[in-house]
Amino acid sequence: MRFVASLRNHIDALVHPSARSDALTAARHRAFIAPRLLGGFAALAALPLYLAVRGVPDWLEFIVFAWLIAPILLGYFLSRTGRYESAHVLSSLALTGLVMVVAWRTGGIASFAAIWLVVVPLEAALSASRRVVAIASSVALGAAGLLLLLTASGLLPPADQNVGGTLAAFGIVSAALYATGIALGAESLARMSFWLLYAEEDRYRLLACNMTDVIARHARDGSVQFISPAAEPLIGTTARKLLGQGLFQRVHVADRPAYLTAIANAAQDRNEQSLEFRIRRDAEHADAPPSFVWVEMRCRPVDRQAGADTGVNEREVVSVLRDIAPRKAQEQAFETTRIALERANAGKSRFLATMSHELRTPLNAIIGFSDMLKKADDLRLDPAQCDEYARLINESGLHLLAVVNGILDMSKMEAGNFEIAPESFSPGTVIAGCCDILSLKARESGVELKTRVPAALPDIVADKRAVNQVLINLISNAIKFSNRDGRVVVSALQEHRHIVIAVEDSGIGISNEDLPRLGEAFFQAKTSYDRRHAGSGLGLSIVKGLVELHGGDIAIRSRVGEGTCVTVRLPLDCEAHRNGVTPISMIQARNERADRQSVGASVEDAVPDATAAMQVRTEVRKRA
């Protein structure tokens, strides 16, 4: 065994380096070199024994033994040059030459050696080259024809009488053995080719089955002829159902033209094509609806040379499909972030543009009038003028404080740090109080302020201060944007387990272009540096934030020149609504923990009249 392994290693070392990269080519080189080296050296080793038995050989026997050296030389030639086909051609020529010489001296075409001409094309078949087989067959047929011609024309020399039946039998047997060796070599090469092909297919099958990307082969019309099993987890169905037009039918309708165009261009232009499209994925459960996923397809035509070797149509296309849903999600997140940054940048610009007016105006008034008060003696101001300047300073400071408070409240709500303190109160009382506060402003602006609140409106549980701020902002905006002789109506009603408060005016209205953006911080409809109506653009944004904190919603309906209606919808119990608890159980739990005095105090704060406060307190105690 050690000798066989050593001999095998020696033969492997004789294979030319150019053939070692391919297992089948290396096997063919070994099949050519090994029998010639072994046969040649075995014949040379047997030469002394033959001479001892036979005696001095004649010239024909000498030629035969000399030819035994030729295979050794041919093996050396292939080992050094790597020219496999040339070595086979030389081997065929050497064998044909030997047969011609022996047959010429031993009877021509009737010689025992003529049978060796059959072996010449059989040996050439081991090269797996049609050109080599054609050359060897032509040489063998030419030699046979020449022997026939020489035999028929009587140009052959007299047959050598020393060649007896033993040598003829030896020639026939050796030819049969040689042909047997060729057959065994062919069978070995065929088996080697089969296993190499199987290993290659197994390797590609392993890659196709374990790759996350989908590999498919398409005809020019887009029909699928092969698709790897990786398509099953991607598309949610078996690979068999995707053959033919199965894959095309799952492509999104809007992406089908681009899909077919990419495959047709790859087949026609012979250039790689890339495409992103949506494909339908079946749901895991039968009840769930299917969804579309984004995939990237890279397709290229089948190699022309590979197609010629395997019989594949050169217009076929190979594609690789990859799931890009995570990348699309990242792109969407990036786009969302970009839009948010642009909005933030626009908000910053609006903030600077708005605050530059809202902060500078009261600050300039405070500084200017305070300087005049400091120089009251020099300017000889009377007490009435000093009181007027002090009043203007106070109003400017209050306005500045309101702006700063609005900014701080908006920042708290955006940061999620604004907390509300729910309590039970009558919304009708709060509406009436806010209208009383703003009635003077309405009269000064020439606007009629009216309320439509039913007496049987139920109490709500909410942050009283926040609801008061919401109503003041909405009513103040309605008065501010109403023309003289206009009208503002504040109404309220109960709708199931919610209370709906509407503030409607007959003012200038809001355009459809600006309506969707109302509620954004620092946004003002048709804002400009010389705008007619002052304001920071935070009022409606704060209103929206406070309403959402209560679990409510806000709706705005407006038409330019006809007025605006802002509707606020609040739950009767915002605390229970936010916690997902029924209002009755929430009220009972809260009243069991609440202090009776604190309840009475909150009622008195909500209802200034003592009799009304007593009635409401009694009603609250009944509910508790």
CATH of 419-593, one of 3.40.50.920, 3.40.50.700, 3.40.50.1000, 3.30.565.10: 3.30.565.10
Class of domain 211-323 (CATH, top level): alpha beta
Which of 52-56, 109-113, 542-546, 562-566 is least confident? 52-56
pLDDT value of residue 208? 67
pLDDT value of residue 302? 81
Q: Over range 8-17, report the average pLDDT.
A: 84
pLDDT value of residue 515? 66
From-to residues of CATH 3.30.565.10 in the chain: 419-593
535, 361 Cβ separation under 8 angstroms: no
Q: pLDDT > 90: what percent of the chain?
A: 12
Q: Over range 32-59, report the average pLDDT.
A: 76
From-to residues of CATH 3.30.450.20 in the chain: 211-323
At 114-155, the pLDDT tens digits run 878 888 888 888 888 889 999 999 999 999 898 888 888 877
pLDDT value of residue 310? 44
Query: Given a cut of 70, is residue 573 above it in pLDDT?
Result: yes
At 180-214, the pLDDT tens digits run 767 777 777 777 777 777 777 777 777 767 777 88
Task: Point out which residues pair with 277 in neighbouring strands.
Answer: 295
Band (518; pLDDT cuts 50, 70, 90): low
Distance CA 314, CA 306 (A): 9
pLDDT value of residue 489? 93
- Within 10 A of 397 (CB to CB), how many other CB atoms are there? 14
- Considering the entire predicted model, what is its pTM? 0.43
Q: Over range 274-289, report the average pLDDT.
A: 82
Class of domain 332-397 (CATH, top level): mainly alpha
pLDDT value of residue 175? 64
Q: Over range 470-474, report the average pLDDT.
A: 86
Query: Given a cut of 90, is residue 500 above it in pLDDT?
Result: yes
423, 602 Cβ separation under 8 angstroms: yes
| Average of per-residue pLDDT values in the chain | 77
16, 79 Cβ separation under 8 angstroms: yes
In the chain, what is the greatest distance between 2 CA atoms, to the nearest angstrom?
163
DSSP 3-state percent helix, strand, coil across the chain (nearest 5): 65, 15, 25
Query: Given a cut of 60, is residue 348 above it in pLDDT?
Result: yes
pLDDT value of residue 308? 43
Band (416; pLDDT cuts 50, 70, 90): low
Q: Over range 326-349, report the average pLDDT.
A: 86
24, 198 Cβ separation under 8 angstroms: no
pLDDT value of residue 576? 74
Query: Given a cut of 70, is residue 263 above it in pLDDT?
Result: yes
From-to residues of CATH 1.10.287 in the chain: 332-397
Cα separation values, 192 from 111, 187, 578, Å: 37, 8, 76
pLDDT value of residue 615? 37
Query: Given a cut of 60, is residue 306 above it in pLDDT?
Result: no
Query: Given a cut of 80, is residue 43 above it in pLDDT?
Result: no
518, 556 Cβ separation under 8 angstroms: yes
Q: At what angle do helices 23-54 and 2-14 cross, to 10 degrees?
A: 110
Distance CA 287, CA 221 (A): 34
> Token pair 């088996």 is at which residue?
191
pLDDT value of residue 337? 92
Q: Whole-angstrom distance between the N-terminal and C-terminal Cα of the chain?
A: 103
Q: Over range 33-57, report the average pLDDT.
A: 76
Which of 287-291, 305-309, 520-524 is least confident? 305-309
Q: Over range 400-428, report the average pLDDT.
A: 76
Q: Over range 381-404, report the average pLDDT.
A: 82
Distance CA 334, CA 63 (A): 86
Distance CA 405, CA 401 (A): 6
Q: Over range 440-444, report the average pLDDT.
A: 85
The string of DSSP codes covering 310-347 is HT--TT-EEEEEEE-HHHHHHHHHHHHHHHHHHHHHHH
pLDDT value of residue 165? 58
Q: Over range 604-621, report the average pLDDT.
A: 35
pLDDT value of residue 192? 75
pLDDT value of residue 278? 92
Phi, psi torsion values for 202, nearest 5 degrees: -65, -40
436, 472 Cβ separation under 8 angstroms: no
Query: Given a cut of 90, is residue 229 above it in pLDDT?
Result: no
pLDDT value of residue 549? 84
pLDDT value of residue 51? 74
Nearest to 491 by CA among 471, 477, 510: 471
